[in-house]
Amino acid sequence: MTDAHIETATILFSDLVGSTAIRSAVGDEVADRLRREHDTLVKDGISALEGRVVKSLGDGFMATFTSASDALQAAVAIQQALERRNRTVSAGPELHVRIGVAAGDVVHEDGDAHGLPVVQAARLCDLAGADEILSTSIVGLLAGSRFDVETHPIGAPALKGIEVPIDCVRVDWRSKTVEGPDVPLQSFLSNSSDGALCGRIDEMELLRAAWRRTSSGASAVRLVSGEPGVGKTRLVTELANEVVAGGGLVLAGRIEEGLGGPYQPFVEALLHYVRHARTDDGEVDLGDSPGELTRIIPDLGDLVSGLPAPIRADPGTEQFRLAASVTSWVATVARDAPVLVVIDDFHWAAPQTAVVLRHLCVDLPSRVLVVITFRDTDVAANPDVTGVIADLHRLPDVENVPLRGLDTRALRGLVEAAGVAADRVETVTQAIHQHSEGNPFFAIELLRHLGDGHLTGDAGTERLIGQLPTSVTEVVRRRVGRLGPATTELLTVAAVVGRDFSLATLAAVMDDHDGLIDQLESAISANLAEERGVGQYRFVHRLVAETLLGQVSATRRAHLHLRVAAAIERQNAANVESVVSELAYHYLAAAPAGDLHRTVEIVVRAGRRAMQMLAFAEAVDLFEQALRVDPEMELGERADITIELARAQSLAGDDASTTVSEAAALARELGDDRRLAAAA
């Protein structure tokens, strides 16, 4: 017995234009892949707006919606997703669909739908041209103000099998394409100097597919993992550039080992967004609770006008409101354009960074794709990160994109791009593969080594392989050494500063300022560093900086950290608090060679700033380090720091009983009732 019932519904029909011609042009295998790609885009657009696919029609779909506005929005989302796909596709035919929409009473029976609106939608789909949406006028009337896309009357066209004329409209879906703020990509995601991406076809398609679904109204998380140098950031850079080219917006942040402090990637992404999206009057929409964001960027009010103060409550509530405010900001940005959120090098994340990222992914807004990169070789050392990754895998639409070494086919592309003679490509490819195991960074470094005079001549396979050092770090050392001692010294100081460094900081540290720009340009020519703006530089890979630091003795490195810290303090004398986390890193690294009292002072200030930012776990770590720095610390100072540590442990959810006892013992030894009360 059938279960038939009547209800008012909106019907959508879609059809892939020219599918037979596409199949004839590209063959069955490619055509099947394109059909699957088309099916995913269309079905994602339907499901994102609460539609139900009734049936597949071979080259299209029939879907029903309980809301007229949802049906029209789905039609628009499908066309926009296909337009973005066509703009970014690197090869192959474009995909175009036509869509018809109608509404009225329909009979639902045996999983199918019947009635005049079904026929009307099907006939309008047949009538539409490529990239067109045709709809009966009544659909727009039912949608009302909830559908704000322009429509244009087309009269009452003759529809096969329908005798009663019905007014129809053409939906101008391109008028719905709202341009988001003009926010450029951050420099670390620029691919201007990286050349073409070799290999990674499958991995790139996984990310592109996730982005297409996101652009249609869905949301997703992708985890890109692999060893150092395997190309995680390079892969995401390729996606980010395609996203921007297709009208999307990228919010990105990195995590530097030991640098940046709590919430670093969100602070970096938010500041970059505000500086480019705000109006001349300092106005920018930062979501429902913009004042909460001042907890992580205290001077945000200097950039954005009218920010309220954050709400004061218990620490747990304040932490929740902060995480929710970040999610609200991302959701607000996604109203204007689909958003790609990039969190790079997550394996170094501070605990509170992990908390905010978890909250964002759990409550992920529509039209947002989060891509997280991390070293799978290092992630186990950070329990906060492993916990978040485990939690993310329990969420819907979270997938891993693991990167392994390139195969010989992809490496051959790198070898050919390096200008190796055709008759030696295979020999060089096999040698590079043997010594790099497909790691792209290692492979490129080895190619550059061979390119320094070793790619000419008639060297045989044995001689060629013998020219390749077993350690890539040795390649980097040789290239640095060829630049001379002055440039080596400069790059060593830069490595102490961090992967990103500025001419101003180097000039403040170096005793001899002459020729710094020339030396940096030599490093750029040697592909060791790259210019990212006026006076702003970056090592081409973190492994270059790590190699340079590996050549420096512990004593010399400590003294360099001390000089860097002093330079950063001078440069930020008017607002030291804004760089106190960075200073704490350098002072701690310089502690054996520095002023221990000053080190303790800076580290405690960094701990207090972390407390203000609700980063209690980071504060615990900083206060603990401050207590370890100076064994001869004055007793009263030790008592005060221990009291602050106990409070931080309590707020972080740790067992503070031992620390409380220590603080009380110190207070009693001092005979200080005030400290004893504070310890209790």
Cα separation of 305 and 302, whole Å? 7
Q: Which of 97-101, 138-142, 539-543 has the highest mean pLDDT?
A: 97-101
pLDDT digits (tens, 9 = 90+) for 42-61: 988 898 788 999 999 989 99
Region 195-223 average pLDDT: 85
Q: Tell the burial category of 415 from Cβ atoms under 10 Å away from its Cβ (0-12, 13-18, 19+).
A: buried
HSE-up of residue 108 (Cα within 13 Å, Cβ side) = 18
Give residue 1's pLDDT.
Answer: 46
Q: Do 534 and 504 touch, CB atoms closer than 8 A?
A: no
Q: Do 412 and 444 touch, CB atoms closer than 8 A?
A: no
pLDDT of residue 180 exceeding 60: no
pLDDT of residue 462 exceeding 60: no
Q: Picking from 276-285, 438-447, 479-488, which range would have the lowest pLDDT averaged per residue?
A: 438-447
Average pLDDT, the chain: 86
Region 524-531 average pLDDT: 83
pLDDT of residue 461 exceeding 50: no
pLDDT of residue 609 exceeding 50: yes
**Contact partners, residue 384, CB within 8 Å, separation at least 6:** 349, 350, 351, 354, 617
Residue 593 pLDDT grade (very low, low, confident, very high; cuts 50, 70, 90): confident
From residue 419, give the alpha-carbon distance in Å to each of 410, 423, 434, 466, 540: 15, 11, 20, 20, 21
pLDDT digits (tens, 9 = 90+) for 64-74: 999 999 999 89
Q: Do 43 and 61 touch, CB atoms closer than 8 A?
A: yes
Which pairs from 30-36 meet CB under 8 Å and 24+ separation? 30/92, 34/92, 34/93, 34/95, 35/59
Q: Which two tokens stand for residue 657?
A: 């009983």
Give residue 358's pLDDT.
Answer: 95
Region 555-575 average pLDDT: 89
Which amino acid is present at 224?
Answer: V
Residue 460 pLDDT grade (very low, low, confident, very high; cuts 50, 70, 90): very low
Give residue 463's pLDDT.
Answer: 45
pLDDT of residue 215 exceeding 60: yes
Strand partners, 370: 221, 341
pLDDT of residue 15 exceeding 70: yes
**Contact partners, residue 629, CB within 8 Å, separation at least 6:** 588, 591, 596, 599, 600, 603
> What share of the chain has pLDDT > 70, as a percent?
92
DSSP result, 257-287? TT-S-TTHHHHHHHHHHHHHHS-TTS-----
Give residue 465's pLDDT.
Answer: 45
Residue 117 pLDDT grade (very low, low, confident, very high; cuts 50, 70, 90): very high
pLDDT of residue 541 exceeding 80: no
Give residue 337's pLDDT.
Answer: 87
DSSP H/E element including 107? strand 97-109
Region 321-345 average pLDDT: 93
Region 345-359 average pLDDT: 92
Give residue 456's pLDDT.
Answer: 44
Q: Do 530 and 189 touch, CB atoms closer than 8 A?
A: no
pLDDT digits (tens, 9 = 90+) for 400-417: 999 888 888 888 888 877
Residue pointed to by tokens 């087309």: 154
Give residue 452's pLDDT.
Answer: 55
Give residue 471's pLDDT.
Answer: 61
Pure H helices in 363-422: 383-392, 408-417
pLDDT of residue 517 exceeding 80: yes
Closest CA to 144 of 67, 39, 242: 67
Output the CA torsion sign for 209, 211, 216, 217: positive
pLDDT digits (tens, 9 = 90+) for 466-515: 454 556 677 777 778 888 888 888 999 999 998 889 898 898 888 666 78
pTM more than 0.75: no
Q: Between 512 and 132, where is the model more confident?
A: 132
Region 572-601 average pLDDT: 88
Region 292-317 average pLDDT: 89
pLDDT of residue 254 exceeding 80: yes
Pure H helices in 498-594: 503-509, 516-525, 542-550, 554-571, 580-590
Give residue 464's pLDDT.
Answer: 46
Give residue 577's pLDDT.
Answer: 83
Region 618-644 average pLDDT: 91
Give residue 512's pLDDT.
Answer: 65
